Amino acid sequence: MNPFSPGAGSPPPELAGRDPIISEARVALGRVIAGRSSQSQILLGLRGTGKTVLLNKIEDLAEEANYLTSFVEVPEARSLAELLYPQMKQVLRRLSNVEAARAAVNAALSGLRNFASVFKVAVGEVEIGVEPTPGSADSGNLELDLTEMFELIGQAARDAGRGWALLVDEVQCLSERDLAAIIVAVHRVSQKSLPTLVVAAGLPQIAGLACDAKSYAERLFAFPAIGALDKDAAVEAIRNPVERQGSRIDDEALEEMFAKTDGYPFFLQEWGYQAWNAATESPITLDDMIRASEQALARLDSGFFKVRMDRLTPAEVEYVNAMAGLGRGPYRSVDVASALGKELAALGPRRASIIEKGMIYSPGHGEVDFTVPLFDDFLRRRSPAT
C-alpha cells in the first residue's frame, strides 16, 4: 500500500508544483497542431528534479492532442541518426494507414531509406518497401538531411490530420553536431508551420550548449528551469498521497522531511517511501521520519550516490572532495584549485573530464557545482576529513 515510488522517471503519486510547465506544454501542443507557431522546449534541471517524469507527462498530453509521439533517451556514444531512424520509421508506418497521407508517407519513406544508407544506420531485417529517390535526404550533411526528414514527416502528419512530438531525454549527451542538427530541423519546421514539436530535457549546461551550436536557439526554444519544489508543493507531494490511503502525517514529520530533502522530488519520494515503511500506525510521526532518514541515506549512499562516485578516477575524486570541503556550491574554480594547492590551468583537463561524465557543470563563468543535489553532503559523510 506504500504510495511512494522512488526511481528513475517513476511517476510520483502527486505531481506537485509543476502546473506552469504542464500548462505551457499543453498550449504549445495545441498551437503547433493548429498550424500556429510556438516554441519547442528544453527542460533544464539537476538530477532528481523530475525532468523525465515531466517528459512522460508531456508525451501523454501530446497523445491526447492527436500527436504521434517518439521518446528517446540519448546514451553516450550513440549518434543521433541511429537513435532517430527507428522512431521516424515507426511514425511513418503508423501514418501510412491514412489514405490522405499515403503519397507524403511514401516520399518520406523514400527519404528515410536514403538517410539510413548515407549515415550507415543498421535497418534490421525489415527493409523499407519503397524505392529511394535521388536527392532526398542523401547529402551526408546531418543538418540538411535531418531537416529534410523533419519536413517530410511533418508534411505526412499534416496530411493525416495528426502531429508528431519528439521527446528527447538526456539531451546533454548529444554531440555539438547532433544538437545543431536538431535545432536547425526544428527551426525549419517552425518556419513552415508543420505540426512537429520537440521537447527535450537535460542538465543545466545544455542551454549554453544549444546557443553555442546555433545562435538563434534562444528564440527557438523555451528553457524552463526544473528545480526543487517549494515547501508548500513538497508538503502537497507527500501529504496528499498519504491521506488518499486513509492515513495522516504530522506537520513535524513534514518539516523534517523538507529539511532533509531540500524539496528535490526524487528525494521526497525516497523519504516518503521510507517514512511509510517506518511507521507502524497512523499518523506518521517525527520519530518515524527520523528513522526514515537513516534508511533513506543508507540506501542512497550505497546506490544512487555510490554508482556515480564509482565513475570517477582517484584524481577526479580528489577534485570533487575539494569542492565539498568548501561547503555548499556553486564553487569558484579558483577556490577549488587553491584547496588542492594547484594552479587553476593545471586542473582544466580534470575539471573537463568530470563535466563530461555529467557529475559537475558550470553554472556561471569560473564556477562549478554538482549536477546531483545533496552530493556534497554524501562526500562529507563518506570522508569526514573533507
| pLDDT at 128 (0 to 100) | 54
Strands 360-361 and 367-370: antiparallel
Bridge-partner residues for 369, per DSSP? 361
Q: How far is the C-alpha of 258 from the C-alpha of 228, rounded, in Å?
A: 11
Q: Are the CB atoms for 159 and 101 separated by under 8 Å?
A: yes
| pLDDT at 222 (0 to 100) | 87
Beta strands in the chain (DSSP E): 40-44, 67-73, 163-169, 196-202, 221-222, 331-332, 360-361, 367-370
Place of cell 542523401: 138
- pTM for the model stands at 0.90
pLDDT in tens, 296-352: 999 999 999 999 999 999 999 999 999 999 999 999 999 999 999 999 999 999 999
Q: Does an H or E element contain 153, and which?
A: helix 142-159
For the chain, which residues score pLDDT lower than 50?
Answer: 125-126
Q: In 3-state terms, what secondary structure has residue 340?
A: helix
Q: How far is the C-alpha of 180 from the C-alpha of 215, rounded, in Å?
A: 10
pLDDT in tens, 90-101: 999 999 999 999
Strands 196-202 and 360-361: unpaired
| pLDDT at 207 (0 to 100) | 82
Residue 80: partners with Cβ closer than 8 Å, 6 or more residues away: 74, 142, 146, 174, 175, 178, 181, 182
Q: In 3-state terms, what secondary structure has residue 306?
A: helix
Q: How far is the C-alpha of 221 from the C-alpha of 284, rounded, in Å?
A: 43
